[in-house]
Chain A
Amino acid sequence: MPLDTIQDDFESGLKPLWMRAQSGDDTAYAQALHRIAHRLRGYFRRRMHSQPDDVEDLVQETLLALHVQRGTYDPTLPVSAWVLAIARHKLVDLWRRRGRRDNLHDALDDVDEALLVAMPNDGSAQRDLDKLLHELPAAQRQAILLTKVEGLSVAEASQRTGASESAIKVQVHRGLKRLALLVKVGGAA
């Protein structure tokens, strides 16, 4: 089964990176997310013929969801299955919001992944996350900009703002969680 081989390749390449990421290796985490983004792009492209412009937005929305929900990954299960369960949820959610009920009758899982050929994409989304960042409450935005964009450590960000280190961590987590809600493609916003 070529399908199984390809899925196993994805899983076996991803799992060690992911496990290192879960225990705090940020470099491995970035590598894992790049692999996942590539995979998601193919997954969504196959299922969104009629909305190709939304693919990259949904990739970003799913990556954000994966990040804020990384605590729900159970290490006894395949990472790829966890990733695709979230991707599938995001896709169905998009269709529901768009009222594309007919799409729900398409088989979601009967797609030959071997046919997925990644088309060139520079990773540009329609929706701009930078703009959405500015819709966050000030404390959350600042915590994210300092630690995630400027690259300060939590201790440095704490010194800069006068907030405690645990407060910074909480603001970053809450901010990303809120961002994950704000990014819903075609949402009410």
Chain B
Amino acid sequence: MKTDALIEMLARGAGPAPRAVAARRLALAAGLGLLLSALLALTLIGPIPTTMYATPVPWMKFAYAGSLALAAGWLTARLARPIARLETPRRSVVAVIGAMVALGTLALIATPSSERMTALLGHSWLSCPWNVLAFSLPALAASLWAVRGMAPTRPHAAGFAAGLFAGTVGAMGYALSCPEQSAAFVAVWYTLGIGLTGALGALLGPRVLRW
């Protein structure tokens, strides 16, 4: 086939370009990932007591993971395009993490100094980041699939952003099972788990984001 014939073929009946491609694909990935991660957390670890939902503790986790999901999803959507402006979404990711760290620091300052270490480490600091990472894996696979179907030209960065996005989804699922109460705990160990998922995404990016 000659190039002119190819062009005629592509243009014939092409119609309008699809809209909001990134938003649709990433929303689907987040939905699937959240479902699986919630299922894993509830069956493998079990739910937190329902009385906890009367306290701000789980809602703080959902709010943090949710707002970071929006910021990281925005960054991922931009990096799934061949060229994009990245400053604003990148700043939003940093701003959300910064706000959580500030909140955690304030919570620590408000805690009597003798209890600070307990608040910061809780009883699950060692397992929390790994659980977030593990419960993020379905969302990570789905997000990388979503980005792969678009046109990323920076596979490390796109993989990292997709990993952060997936990490926030896993964190949301894990929050259903995590009894830790301190904002400082969330600021450190949840963020670390989300960061680990981002690192895994960055590692996988060049391998899987080929098109």
Instruction: Give residues in A with beta carbon < 8 Å to B.
Output: 21-24, 26-27, 29-30, 33-34, 37, 56, 59-60, 63-65, 67, 69-74, 76-77, 81-82, 85-86, 88-89, 93, 122-125, 128-130, 147-149, 151, 153-154, 176-177, 180-181
Of B16-24, B167-175, B192-200, the one with at least 4 CB within 8 A of chain A: B16-24
**Distance, CA A29 to CA B14, complexed state (A):** 8
Q: Is the CB of B81 within 8 A of A33?
A: no
Of B5-13, B118-126, B132-140, the one with at least 4 CB within 8 A of chain A: B5-13
CB neighbours of A88 from chain B (8 A) = 153
Q: Does B91 contact A (CB under 8 A)?
A: no
CB neighbours of A129 from chain B (8 A) = 1, 6
Q: Is the CB of B13 within 8 A of A60?
A: no
**Distance, CA A59 to CA B7, complexed state (A):** 11
Most chain B Cβ neighbours within 10 Å, of A22, A154, A177 = A22
Given A71-B18, A89-B82, A122 and B2 contact (CB-CB distance below 8 Å): yes
How many chain B residues sit at the interface, stated as a range, is 20 to 34
Partner of A37, one of B7, B16, B150: B7
**Nearest-CB distance from A163 to chain B (Å)?**
15
Instruction: Give residues in B with beta carbon < 8 Å to A.
Output: 1-19, 21-22, 80-85, 149-151, 153, 210-211
**Nearest-CB distance from B24 to chain A (Å)?**
9
With A22-B17, A33-B7, A34-B7 given, name 8 new contacts (CB 8 A): A30-B7, A34-B4, A37-B3, A63-B6, A67-B10, A71-B21, A86-B153, A151-B12
**Distance, CA A21 to CA B15, complexed state (A):** 8
CB neighbours of A148 from chain B (8 A) = 9-10, 12-13
How many contacting A-B pairs (Cβ < 8 A)?
Answer: 113
Interface secondary structure of B, over-half rule: loop
Closest to A150 in B: B12
Q: Is the CB of B82 within 8 A of A85?
A: yes
Given A56-B3, A59-B3, A70-B17, A65 and B151 contact (CB-CB distance below 8 Å): yes
**Distance, CA A128 to CA B6, complexed state (A):** 11
**Nearest-CB distance from B48 to chain A (Å)?**
40
**Nearest-CB distance from A109 to chain B (Å)?**
13
**Distance, CA A160 to CA B85, complexed state (A):** 45
Q: Is the CB of A72 within 8 A of B11?
A: no
Given A65-B151, A153-B13, A85 and B3 contact (CB-CB distance below 8 Å): no
Given A63-B10, A77-B83, A24 and B3 contact (CB-CB distance below 8 Å): no
CB neighbours of A93 from chain B (8 A) = 210
Q: Is the CB of A72 within 8 A of B10?
A: no
The 8 closest A-B pairs by CB, nearest first: A123-B3, A30-B11, A85-B82, A24-B16, A71-B21, A71-B18, A129-B1, A123-B2
Q: Is the CB of B151 within 8 A of A69?
A: yes
